[in-house]
Structure 1
């Protein structure tokens, strides 16, 4: 997953659920994260980046918090692929909607 996409999705889930960043930071540290609380706030505001390890620790903290509260939205980890919906490839032999093929 792209770092920018993961940051945006992390911030969106935190805002959607109204999660407390101070509490998330404590959980983040408990999961092995070592960024300061201010750095986490800056990251969520889109003002800085974090390493994949730090991003994943924060994502895990958010996801565990959401799971404990029965909330549905989750944050993807850096190793997850983000798939975009694209139209299916067209058969080059097909001529159009009214073809007899």
Structure 2
């Protein structure tokens, strides 16, 4: 198998692991986008034991990126000058639209 194919698969596996995506979820999303390999073949590809065309890799990368985009934004620390949104009272409709 071509070293470049193994490298692409390893990098994709690293992204999946970093974002803690499930293999089953990735595979289901991949198939929904037109991917053609089985879940077992996907697992083998991510571990360097199966070759994958550039086209199928790109479908897989698209599926992974879409799943990442669906993840909630991680919480961020607020600055002392910012309101604490957990304790702020909700705005009334007139407060937003000037009515």
Fold-level similarity (TM above 0.5): yes
Q: Moved runs in structure 1, 4+ residues, more than 3 A?
A: none
Q: Which runs of 5+ in 2 are unaligned?
A: 74-99
Give TM-score, length-normalised by structure 2.
0.65
Aligned residues: 70
Match of 2:47 in 1: 45
Q: What root-mean-square deviation, in Å, do the aligned CA atoms of Structure 1 and Structure 2 show?
A: 1.5
Structure with max Cα Rg: 2
Structure 1 residue 34, shift from structure 2 partner: 0.7
SS at match of 2:36: coil
Give TM-score, length-normalised by structure 1.
0.64
1:32-54 CA-partner distances (Å, limit 9, x unpaired)? 10101100011111111111111
Of 36, 42, 62, 2:38 maps to 36
Q: Which runs of 5+ in 1 are unaligned?
A: 72-101
